[in-house]
Amino acid sequence: MNIKNKILILFILIFVSGMSSYAFELDTSIDDEIRKNYNPSKLENDILPDLPNSLKNNTGTKAKPDYTQKATTNPTISAPSANIETDFSSGLNKVIKTNIGENTYSDFEAIKIKKGTKFKVKSQTKVSDWNTPGARMTFVSVEPVVARYVSFPVGTTFKAVVEDSHQPNFGGNGGLLKIKTDTLLQGNSSQNMDAKIIKADGKKIFFNNIKGKRGYISGLCKNVSKGERFYQKSRQMSKRWSSNPVGTILSPLPTIVGVVGYTGNLLVSPITSLWSKGSHITIPAGANYTIKLRQDLYLSK
């Protein structure tokens, strides 16, 4: 390093050290002006609040905790009462529980027979489409049914009611019977139930509707048969007329009339058959039925 560089560095160091001495000079003129117009101690006494007594008496030492004391009694936790009521102050949500531990009837105090269970029974009542809604009938089981925790022996009695019925009406409709099994007899007590009939007198029943035979097709066949008989008579007449020379000329006329009548009968038979009726329903006592549970059945233990 040459002499010029050394002199330059020395000059810079002297200049920087001189600036640092001026950096710590403070302008205290403002503080002197405040002291002339205001008394700082008076401001503290008038504006600031008093210290708490605990701080005034505090000597700066902290009390040591006393670890010699021991708990002489154990905390007692009371058991919850049987009735618990929780009521929120808003009044919108309220939960009330009573009798904790009490079992519900359907879970513990009853035997559940699942819906879909079938019973084969025999009727003790004659029914027909002449019965009005509300008429009662009685069934007796002919086969035992075994379920969990319970069995239904032969001779178990069921009661039923006619929900709907009507006699044959126009349009070829037959009679109708709709029967609901609503009561099961257990000894001296009765139990409500909901079951439908799926088989009656050896015939399958759909939608719990026992229906008489429809009469529209049979009425249509009867009307067509009438036209056919009329045509056959016209043919016989033509045959008789053709047996003599005079009638031979006119013998085709009856056949032509028979063909026209038969054709017209075929065209109007679908309309005229609407006035035909179906058959009545009559099921004697002693007929076999099959009933099926529509809802779960609960039996008391």
pTM: 0.52
Produce one character per residue of 93-122: b if its CB has 16 or more CB atoms within 10 Å, e if not. eeeeeeeeeeeeeeeeebeebeeeeebbbe
Among 58-62, 112-116, 201-205, 254-258, the least confident range: 58-62
> What digits encode the pLDDT tens for the residues 270-284?
887 877 888 889 999
Mean pLDDT, residues 83-89: 42
How confident is the model at residue 145, as a pLDDT? 92
Among 67-76, 178-187, 197-206, the least confident range: 67-76
CATH of domain 111-214+280-300: 2.40.128.260
Mean pLDDT, residues 128-135: 92
* CA proximity to 129, closest of 212, 218, 214, 213: 212
Confidence of residue 154 (pLDDT cuts 50, 70, 90): very high
Model confidence at 113: pLDDT above 60? yes
- Choose between 291 and 26: higher pLDDT: 291
Mean pLDDT, residues 87-102: 36
- Rg (alpha carbons) of the chain, rounded to whole number: 55
Model confidence at 152: pLDDT above 80? yes
- Cβ proximity of 227 and 262 under 8 Å: yes
> What digits encode the pLDDT tens for the residues 42-82?
555 555 566 566 555 555 544 555 545 544 445 454 554 44
How confident is the model at residue 179, as a pLDDT? 94
Domain coordinates in residue numbering, the chain: 111-214+280-300, 216-275
